[in-house]
Structure 1
Amino acid sequence: MAKLNGNAGEEFTVLLAHHDISSQQDVWYLDSGESNHMCGKKEFFAELKDGPYGSVSLGDSSKLPVEGKGKIKIIQKDGRKEYISDTYYIPGMKSNILSIGQLLQKGYIIHMEDMFLTLRNARRKLIARVQMSKNRMFPLKLNTKIGSCNISVMEDESWKWHLRFGHLHFNGLKLLSSGGMVRGLPQIEATRQVCEGCVLGKQARLSFPVGDTWRAKAPLQMVHTDICGPLDPMSYGGNRYFITFIDDFSRKT
């Protein structure tokens, strides 16, 4: 049992469990007793804002400071990216914690049945299905995208100005700085780190194939269908989904 002491003196109940695989830093524990996500590995954060944000009081009366708050990028098996936002950075914390209450507040859907916990995002996409362990915990091993490079980006003044000027190259920033053309712009130092946004922005998709595509020769020979939803807010009749059927020959819907 522990307490999270905020800046305003508010206390939140925190349960910190010690278990047989607590040394695995990429394992997260889903817990309904936590008020916030917590992580002890700084390199897991894609973005991190320095604190302080209070401290965590452990059962042995010792305290661990909450030194930052940010978001962690995870990569799912199908390659999709998700972010664990508003996560506290607590150096020295051995167990990474996912707050079930915080996930519900963010719109995630959690279902527990037959010794399994199922986690879906707000679009009802399956994120994880976790089996309960022998000590009645729900350990979830995440493919955490190490974000140490991004942390240095956020802390480096040169990188901050690179982002503020819409990813302007560093030679251009140095020219603005040395010429005194921007009030408040500090001396800019070039860096060898690669900006992920710049790399993606310079990439191009393959062009559409040249030539006619196949078209239907008679009605109902080919029908295009699509489903849309869930819609928020729902319709007047209480519906959240609709489906369309388009005949390729007549283009009638």
Structure 2
Amino acid sequence: MTLLRGSVMQASAGEISEHYQHLLKQAKKRTQIKTGSLSLTLSLPLGLVLELENCYYVPRMIKNIISFNLLVDHGFYFKYDYKLISCFKNDIFYFKATPTNGLYVLNLQENNKEIYHISKRSKEIEDQTYLWHCRLGHINKKRIEKLQKGGLLGLLILDHLTTTSLMTKQPFNKDNERASELLGIIHTDVCGGYRYFITFTDDFSRYGYVYLIRHKSEAFEKFKEFQSEVQNQLDTKIKFLRSDRGGEYLSQEFDNHMMECGIVSQLTPPYTP
């Protein structure tokens, strides 16, 4: 990822104008590119922050360049509209960019017109509402209101939350069977973006384990590690494993292991606790 001083420009499919290619070649010859642990923070108009790691510094360049491909590698994705692209991660909007001379330009400056401030403030509140909705485990409107009354959250548009949160909800049985003994049912989920963590929660005691992982593919190994520890410590076996329909739980390797151990897989509807 390359970040250079000045306004920010987004490279389109790795294409950089001849002028910037020439400057980069000159910088390499003169060893003007400084690499290493250079990390920079990009403040976006909606209040979100983009952390840029492993950046190059080229003194002679006055434009910042960010690689599309590296953003995609870090979990971001793009939606293309007429002469605009929008950048998202985990369904949260980050920024828009417009094409200019083969590059996509990010406008990070705020407009001082009063009508823009009103519109921008409303949009910012909507995005903050959904952001907190995601951060708090997709909690419902009543719980958000309770946090607001307690002074823990600022102004949020709850009508927007109601519409947004219900779009992905699927009906599920409210009378789920509860465990009557330790390890009767284990709840599990994988969370995170570039770096993840996986949780295992005992339904009977509500005691939970958290393991840090870098890739979702590590979920199976962490489950075996968890299974070995708790079954040895408690001298009993896991009967059910309840998870969402994430691909990390549906691999053939995971399925074979569950069958060998006599563990029954229980799958909940997607996008529900």
From the two aligned structures, give the one with the greater strand fraction. 1
Question: What TM-score results when the alignment is normalised by the length of structure 1?
Answer: 0.38
Determine which structure has greater relative contact order: mean sequence separation of CA pairs < 8 Å that are 6+ residues apart, divided by chain length. Answer: 1
Greater gyration radius: 1
From the two aligned structures, give the one with the greater helix fraction. 2
Question: What TM-score results when the alignment is normalised by the length of structure 2?
Answer: 0.35
